[in-house]
Structure 1
Amino acid sequence: MEKLVIVRFGELTVKRGYTRLEMERLLTRAAEEAARECGGAKFEKEPGRLYARGDVECLKKALSRVFGVKSVSPAHAAEFTELSDIATHAKQIWGDLVTGRRFAVRAHRVGDHPFKSLDVAAAVGSALATSGGSVDLEKPEVELYVEVRGKRAYYYTEVLEGPGGLPLGSEGKVLALVSGGIDSPVAAWMLMRRGAHVDVFYCNLGGTLALLHALEVVRRLLSWSYGYNARVVVADCGPVARALRRGVKEELWNIAFKRALYKIGAEAAKRVKATALVTGESLGQVSSQTLQALAAVEAGIGTPVLRPLIGMDKDEIVKIAQRIGTYEASVKMPEYCAVFSRKPRKWARREEIEEIDLALHDAIAEVANSARMVKKRELEEFVKSLSPPRDLEIDAPPSDAVVVDLRDEEAYRGWHLPGAIRTDVDDVLTLVDRLGRDKTYVFYCYSGGLSLDVAESLRKIGIKAYSLRLWRTSSPNQTRDSTSQTDKYTDL
């Protein structure tokens, strides 16, 4: 008798001919990579399934994350010559488990045998009843599964659900625009689940700490991409943010910035040879995700845009994010608010789109040309190479610090920290030069991303600057406009 893991194939079992053979090859390759996390495994293949021998407890978890896998079960396996052997083995495995408990035996049989599945269930049930258990097919405390295939029987009690879908690599390649927020990693995962190789594009606006947060989300996402050394394209989108604030009407910032992302993403897609872009947009969730806004954003891009979340609500998306392991990292992602309008327009005229493209053309080209590409297996070393300033975030400003509010004038008038002065992000250096570079500066904004970026930029030129940690600028009795509050880059 031996222990192993049963790996059951899902949707690919309805495929035929070369397509099925290729999908099985891709799934097996992904399973082999997943098994390396457990010290490797020896695989045996049967129609519609794999058997993996090795560290069973580790393998059951790793293999349940392979796309194309319907379910996995850690099992005992033993050969038999007659029905009584199956019953004897079941008693050896489960005798102690069923003592004093109600149990049910679920039997399944494949192949030619002188008995039926019901005979297997009856024989095993009778044998286990002698161990002090009682059969209860309606409300059992324990369900016991026996699969008879050829001359071997498999015994298990646990069925772990896999992601299902199609094996990774069976449906071409796409580039996911991942912001680090909740939605876009889920969208990328859903394309993986449909068999696409997914590369990732991240547009950084918030300095090194924001980049580290985003890369942690990406790392968790790509932990599912067994069998593919995905590429991560990282771009510094600061030039786009500056050009947008200078040359685009504020009410169009949301549409303009997202349009710039699409254009940069389209260039990155050519670089990695991806066929389409993937975004996390859900229809109507925020102002830049109305039909009119999406039409304005996508007009003339030239690269197909896939939106797997378009008909889902936020609760559904959050549940998937929690399941795939990205949620906890995503909610820690600081949001960058300096390119998002408080009163965003939900549409744009053709001539306004042309004006946006003209205003951002050079910045888009600069960002696209300077983007850096890192492969999944190089990601850990890349993260280690990033060195954010120490103690950049603080919980309270020092008594002698100049406290600077980076929000807009309306928000500042409504409420601000006592003694804080307000400035626009583009005027920070002018303010510092006027007040003195020898002072300590503490910045806050709507959600932390912008203040982190400003503080880090000042540190690089020798100025003592900080960002208030996890700052929320609304007072307890005050909330921001619901549309502008949520219409952030993290909703991509």
Structure 2
Amino acid sequence: MRTFFLIKPGEIELKLGNRREFVHRLKEQIQKRLHGIHFDLEEYPGRFFLSVEEKDTDFALFVLQHCPGVNGIAQAIKSEKRTERILKAAIEIASKEAARGARRFKVETRRSDKSFPLDSYGMSAAAGDAVTQALSSLSVDVHNPDFIIAIEIRERAYIYASTSPGPRGLPVGSQGKGVLLLSGGIDSPVAGYMMARRGLAIESVYFHTYPFTSEEAQKKVEQLARRIAIWTGSMHAWIVSFTEVQLKIKKGGREEANTLMLRMAMMKAADVIASRIKARAIVTGESLGQVASQTAENLRLSQSMTSLPVLRPLIGIDKEETIATARRIGTYTISILPYEDCCVLFSPKHPVLKPDFEDLRAYFSSLELESEILKAVDKAEEKFFSFGDALREYGLDAYAEFWNAGGPRA
């Protein structure tokens, strides 16, 4: 037995001249994430069709629900374009919904193949009649149905009821690559997730200041990177030892500017890494006014360390909204583990809120941090977390094993 999924791409269908590129990228992403199982994937205008072994149904659905570019997923029945076959499938689907307690339904038909003898209204009416005759517990209610039977008449007929939502957005990699400043907090993992949904491939950089921050703090960030990899498909993480940079900043003597100097140094390091990996942007979890270093003036100062666009998807989002998203994507419980990052440990009591731009730029230059920053980047430890590592993070160990081995499940 096999399970058949109808996949709705969503936003990429609005693209015009380069639509094929987006479609190819999404197909590639789905194939990459499923390569540990036996599957068949077909693409037709406006739809993908996926067939998997029945035992892999839940896994395939999980993968599709975490693949940016997928708008919706439905388990469907694939049928010949014959009215009696379509009606039989509609009754089968309605029977399952009735067994779950549903009592009211409606039918919606999309007829792309205009040669089919019944038009959309006629097919919907015929299916409604067939279902009510076969199942006396069900009645048609077009205004307040418990479920909808969807019929699509294309190169074949597809019949389904419930549609599970996907992440929506654009396929990962369709908008190039970005460097995410990943801390152990709540915000930056959410920012990475949000930019992945906008098609950005993500590599992350974490600034570690051992012994002022513990090894547990680094492990926490690595776990967050694996969590984000379920959305991005994989994750390169750059672990940059920033202890010497931070100590040099602290010796500079202007305590109120410590956080700003550190943010500028981090942005400079991220800019160097971005140049080396050919990334087009830097991503941060900053939100306007959330903390002292995130005033408009301070954001301008840190951004002056790079010529790349700095993408801040949380810039206008309330903290509670960010927390709600973190809970939904599974990063919140990790982010609140009590291991502080370097920003917290070296924060001044009275930070600068409205800096003199030229004065603090000159102060940053006087610290002569560039050689220490380059040395730290050169010695950075690169870690790679595969999609299989992400699956293991979500408890799908059996699939992770076969994914990482590169072979299909038996």
Normalising to structure 1: TM-score of the pair? 0.71
- Any conservation in 2 of the 1:213–1:333 contact (CA below 8 Å)? no
- Tell me the residue number matched to 2:77: 76
1:189: Cα distance to partner?
A: 1.9
- Tell me the residue number matched to 1:293: 298
- Tell me the residue number matched to 2:63: 62
Within-5 A mapping of 1:201-240 = 201-205=205-209, 206-226=213-233, 229-240=234-245
- Any conservation in 1 of the 2:174–2:199 contact (CA below 8 Å)? yes
Quick one: distance in 2 between partners of 1:141 and 1:158?
10
- Tell me the residue number matched to 2:91: 91
Q: Which runs of 4+ in 1 moved over 4 A?
A: 378-381
Within-5 A mapping of 1:302-451 = 302-332=307-337, 334-336=339-341, 337-349=344-356, 350-359=358-367, 361=369, 362-377=371-386
Instruction: Write out per-residue CA displacement over residues 419-476 of structure 1, whole angstroms, 9 at most, x where no aligned residue.
Output: xxxxxxxxxxxxxxxxxxxxxxxxxxxxxxxxxxxxxxxxxxxxxxxxxxxxxxxxxx
1:197 maps to which of 173, 183, 201:
201
Quick one: distance in 1 between partners of 2:372 and 2:141?
70
1:199: Cα distance to partner?
A: 1.0
- Tell me the residue number matched to 2:118: 115
Quick one: distance in 2 between partners of 1:300 and 1:104?
59
- Tell me the residue number matched to 2:144: 139
Within-5 A mapping of 1:254-269 = 254-269=259-274
Instruction: Write out per-residue CA displacement over residues 204-230 of structure 1, whole angstroms, 9 at most, x where no aligned residue.
Output: 23231110001111110111123xx54
1:292 counterpart letter in structure 2: E
Secondary structure of the 1:50 match is: strand
Distance 1:290 1:50, change over 3 A: same
Instruction: Write out per-residue CA displacement over residues 279-311 of structure 1, whole angstroms, 9 at most, x where no aligned residue.
Output: 111111111110111122222433332212212
Q: Which has the larger radius of gyration?
A: 1
Instruction: Write out per-residue CA displacement over residues 303-335 of structure 1, whole angstroms, 9 at most, x where no aligned residue.
Output: 332212212221222222223222221122522
1:92: Cα distance to partner?
A: 3.2
Secondary structure of the 1:69 match is: coil
Quick one: distance in 2 between partners of 1:65 and 1:380?
15
Distance 1:333 1:9, change over 3 A: farther
Distance 1:80 1:2, change over 3 A: farther
- Any conservation in 2 of the 1:260–1:360 contact (CA below 8 Å)? no
CA RMSD of aligned residues (A): 2.4
> Which range is displaced more, 115-124 or 206-215?
115-124
Question: Paired residues, what number?
Answer: 376
The answer as to 2:174 corresponding to 1:170 is yes
Quick one: distance in 2 between partners of 1:142 and 1:352?
61
- Tell me the residue number matched to 1:32: 31
Quick one: distance in 2 between partners of 1:210 and 1:219?
15
2:163 counterpart letter in structure 1: V
Quick one: distance in 1 between partners of 2:389 and 2:349?
37
Quick one: distance in 2 between partners of 1:201 and 1:6?
37
- Any conservation in 1 of the 2:106–2:141 contact (CA below 8 Å)? no
Quick one: distance in 1 between partners of 2:2 and 2:87?
16
- Any conservation in 2 of the 1:252–1:344 contact (CA below 8 Å)? yes
The answer as to 2:159 corresponding to 1:158 is no
2:186 maps to which of 182, 187, 196:
182
1:353 counterpart letter in structure 2: R
Distance 1:341 1:96, change over 3 A: closer
- Any conservation in 2 of the 1:233–1:372 contact (CA below 8 Å)? yes
Distance 1:93 1:191, change over 3 A: closer
Structure 1 gaps of 5+ residues are: 384-492
Quick one: distance in 2 between partners of 1:259 and 1:201?
14
1:145 counterpart letter in structure 2: A
2:62 counterpart letter in structure 1: K
